[in-house]
Amino acid sequence: MPRSFLSVADVSKQELTVILDKTRDLKALFHKSAPTAQLGHEHSSSGPITRLEEKIVGLLFEKPSTRTRTSFEVAVLKLGGEAIYLPSSELQLSRGEPIKDTARILGSYLDCIVARVYAHETVKELSAHSGLPVINALSDLEHPTQIVCDLFTMMEAKGELEGLNLAYIGDGNNVCNSLLLAAGITGMNMKVACPVGFEPNKAILQKAKEIGSSTGARISILRKPSEAAREADVLYTDVWVSMGEEKEKRRRMRKFRGYQINSRLLRTAAEDAVVMHCLPAHRGLEITDVVLEGKQSLAWMQAQNKLYGAASILDFLLK
């Protein structure tokens, strides 16, 4: 079976290092590319970028997206391939066709599937029945492609990941789950501050701790944001209400009151701490406008790096 990337834990520490190194190299290569060259075949001092030449990548999206969709489409084109956007609303999936049937058909047409879905079981079925590399571009359980660009952004800002102190403030959602696994693999220390009932997935938390026992990562769940943020090198947050959770909005607004990254919380972190948010952000809720737009915010660099992270994952799986 071809390799898929459904979870951060699908790659070893050595492979994650390779992906991050590819991210750095492709960022440099893209920046050197002649701006007037044909997209997908631009020339640089290293020659044409044709790593995905004659490859066709399908983007199967059940959820709307700005950064993830655009970064993957552009990455495919810049690497010399072709991208086809496949919104589920325009497929027979919307009329009840089983995922495995759709997967079999797409497997005979495409070279790779990038899937942004509601249920994690969907990406597992796509991988099992398509015979193609499948990239999880977000599910309810994980968001591994986001974490590649996050780790790369942390490396650009802080250097080594091992021993870095990461504080995650807010909902123990898919991004938090993937960050926990990444922390365990890389040897980062991670503290999650969340309300009772909104902890990260128990199985993933346990797996992250088990992985971390061999890398020196210290992982803990706390209730007070100030405790998690104390001396943190990186403060990270995400929305309180994810797509598909709109019915819980009122309850979540109550529960997450106080779980905001603001100037006061930032002052409890390390003096040179940086702030990250995977976007889109709800300013005034999980993060204030002052912090998001402040000099310590990496949110925009983080978003830009999604292009290079997407390219490195595609290159890693389809090389």
Based on the domain organization, do 92 and 150 belong to the same domain?
no
Based on the domain organization, do 273 and 314 belong to the same domain?
no
Closest CA to 147 of 14, 291, 282, 302: 302
- Please indicate, yes or no, if residue 73 is contained in any of the structural domains: yes
E strand segments, 152-304: 165-169, 189-193, 219-222, 234-237, 274-277
- Please indicate, yes or no, if residue 263 is contained in any of the structural domains: yes
> What are phi and psi for residue 255, nearest 5 degrees?
-65, -35
The whole-number pLDDT of residue 1 equals 78
Q: Give the helix/strand (H/E) hosting 86.
A: strand 82-87
Based on the domain organization, do 233 and 92 belong to the same domain?
no
Q: At a CB cut-off of 8 Å and minimum separation 6, what does 153 contact?
A: 276, 298, 301, 302, 305
Based on the domain organization, do 157 and 110 belong to the same domain?
no
DSSP secondary structure code for residue 34 in this structure: -
- Please indicate, yes or no, if residue 110 is contained in any of the structural domains: yes
Based on the domain organization, do 207 and 138 belong to the same domain?
no
Give the structural domain span for 105: 8-142+306-318
Based on the domain organization, do 88 and 186 belong to the same domain?
no
62: domain CATH number is 3.40.50.1370
Based on the domain organization, do 173 and 232 belong to the same domain?
yes
For residues 191-215, b (16+ Cβ closer than 10 Å) or e, as one string? bbbbbeebebbeebbebbbebbeee
Q: Which residues of the chain, if any, have pLDDT below 70?
A: 33-50
Strands 47-48 and 43-44: antiparallel
87 has which bridge partners? 61
Q: From CA 302, how far away is CA 234, in angstroms rounded?
A: 13
DSSP secondary structure code for residue 248 in this structure: G
Express each pLDDT in 290-318 by its tens digit. Answer: 999 999 999 999 999 999 999 999 999 99
Q: From CA 84, how far away is CA 79, in angstroms rounded?
A: 15
- Please indicate, yes or no, if residue 44 is contained in any of the structural domains: yes
Q: From CA 114, how far away is CA 116, in angstroms rounded?
A: 7
Based on the domain organization, do 233 and 217 belong to the same domain?
yes
Closest CA to 286 of 159, 199, 170: 170
The whole-number pLDDT of residue 33 equals 65
Based on the domain organization, do 36 and 102 belong to the same domain?
yes
Q: Could you give the maximum distance between any two Cα atoms of the chain, in Å? A: 55
Based on the domain organization, do 74 and 154 belong to the same domain?
no
Based on the domain organization, do 242 and 196 belong to the same domain?
yes
Q: What is the pTM of this model?
A: 0.94
Based on the domain organization, do 158 and 119 belong to the same domain?
no
The whole-number pLDDT of residue 47 equals 45
How many structural domains does the chain have?
A: 2
